[in-house]
Amino acid sequence: MSDEDFSDNESAISIRDGTTYLGFVDVPISEEEKPTIEDTFIGGEPLWLDSRSPPQEDLLLCKSCTSPMALLLQSYANLEATYYDRVLYVFACKKPGCRRQNGSVRALRAVRKDPKAMASWQEQVEKKAPVEATRFDISKEIFGSSSNPFTSDTPNPFSSSANPFAQPEPKQESISEPKTETKETQSTAKSDTPAKTYASVASSGVKPKPKPKPLSVKLPSHPGYILYMDAESLKRKPVEAPIGQIDESALDTEVEASNAQLNPLAKQMADMLDDSQFQKFSSKVAHNPHQVLRYDLGGKPLLYSSGDSVSKLFLDKKGRWRDEFLLARPGFNPSGQRRFELQLMPKAIIDLESDLENIDEGMEWGTIVVCTDVEDTMPELDENHVGYVEEYCGVQWEEEVKGGEQ
């Protein structure tokens, strides 16, 4: 591992300062360009942390029509100072009739906590210094070739091969966090005199883990694209969208009303332009119009509107940010809390619907906000050490366009 892999110290520092990371389309998924578990991608087929361990089927069904849902996003999102793999998934029902219906878009969080792999990962980190540099090496050793052939020179904070420390460190977590894992390993560790490693814990006879069931449903899918991640920069002047690429999207409607006559959609959005959150949304997106994903663990979502039930979780009646968001506590961790983690941006719709023939059947969301358990609790792992839970997923729907515009 050469030094230059870690030469980007500025980025490492700013990451801890609450930098927002943006995801941009890198390459379409194809026979030649297949994503790995350590990639972040939109569309395509989901990859599971262990191919033998898909989620329970009911987590993949639309709550409105019970049809299998299609993958919108899969994001490799390890937490800093942890030694296990973590992936977030967003699925959505493709049926036009399920638009704007509760439960037609769902977010899952998966972890794989293989005690042996974790022990070896942690041991090697502790053996070598500096910690951060070694963790980089080790993740590669454990997870094999983790280099992402699709990324450009841009460091990918989501790939452990590029920068495993990309996510801002939550206050609640410390470097010792990996020592308290699932309840099982925790209690086993306690009963052993100074229990050392996950390997010893693993071999000390915990109760058999549930067997995962193979999926019996086939999930529909959208065209897929592997993303690369980059720190958000607002220094650049907002750029004009390249013609034909994003000019159909709401995000191309600049806040400045002076541009409105150039873009028919801007007229339809006139109501929204009065919305201060939508103004902020538009002006921020204008700096990086191709963003399909925003990642800001513990930060604030960029709200598409201030007038819906999702915005009320984050804003008070006067439209100010709440000190504490009104996010429901996780059912799997009733004393826990959730924090904002990522959101999908409307440019993703254009990519995901690149093969859609009838635009009337298209998606109609403005943003999809995912909030996750601060403690990253996973109540149960299967025999492959993989577990899934459903996390908060809030959809801000696009303003319904009234009347027919020819």
Which residues contribute to the site for Zn ion (CB under 5 A)? 62, 64-65, 67, 93, 95, 98
CB of 63 to Zn ion, least distance (A): 8
Q: How far is the CB of 92 from Zn ion (least distance, A)?
A: 9
Is 62 or 226 the residue whose CB approaches Zn ion more closely? 62
Which CB atom, from 62 or from 166, has the smaller least distance to Zn ion?
62
Shortest distance, position 106 Cβ to Zn ion, whole Å: 10
Nearer to Zn ion, 60 or 310 (CB): 60
In the complex, what is the shortest distance from the CB of residue 70 to Zn ion, in angstroms, rounded to a whole number? 10
Question: Which CB atom, from 65 or from 260, has the smaller least distance to Zn ion?
Answer: 65
In the complex, minimum distance from the CB of residue 57 to Zn ion, in angstroms, rounded to a whole number: 15
CB count in 10 Å sphere of residue 345: 26
Identify which of residues 67 and 204 has a Cβ nearer to Zn ion in the complex: 67
Q: Which residue lies nearer to Zn ion by CB, 64 or 147?
A: 64
- In the complex with Zn ion, the residue whose CB is nearer, 62 or 202, is 62
Q: Is the CB of 101 or the CB of 283 nearer to Zn ion?
A: 101
Pairwise CA distance, residues 230 & 19, whole Å: 10
Rounded to the nearest whole angstrom, what is the least distance from the CB of residue 47 to Zn ion in the complex?
A: 23
Q: How far is the CB of 62 from Zn ion (least distance, A)?
A: 3
Phi, then psi, of 304 in degrees rounded to 5? -85, -25
How far CA 263 is from CA of 281, 349, 358, 378, 397, in Å, comes to 18, 19, 21, 47, 21
The residue among 69 and 73 lying less far from Zn ion, judged by its C-beta, is: 69
CB of 66 to Zn ion, least distance (A): 7
3-state secondary structure string, the chain? Answer: CCHHHHCCHHHHHHHHCCCCEEEEEEEECCCCCCCCCCCCEECCCCCCCCCCCCCCHHHHECCCCCCECEEEEEEECCCCCCCCEEEEEEEECCCHHHCCCCCCEEEEEEEECCHHHHHHHHHHHHHCCCHHHHHHHHHHHHHCCCCCCCCCCCCCCCCCCCCCCCCCCCCCCCCCHHHCCCHHHHHHHHHCCCCCCHHHHHCCCCCCCCCCCCCCCCCCCCCCEEEEEEECCCCCCCCCCCCCCCCCCHHHCCCCHHHHHHCHHHHHCHHHHCCHHHHHHHHHHHHCCCCCEEECCCCCCCCCCCCCHHHHHHECCCCCECCCCCCCCCCCCCCCCEEEEEEECCHHHHHHCCCCCCHHHCCCEEEEEEEEECCCCCCCCCCCCEEEEEEEEEEEECCCCCCCCC
Q: How far is the CB of 224 from Zn ion (least distance, A)?
A: 21
The minimum distance between CB 97 and Zn ion, in angstroms, equals 7
Residue 348, token pair as written in the block: 């993703």
Q: Which is nearer to Zn ion, 22 or 105 (CB)?
A: 105
Query: Letter for the amino acid at 75?
Result: S
Residue 373's nearest CA partner among 391, 393, 394 is: 391
d(CA 38, CA 151): 12
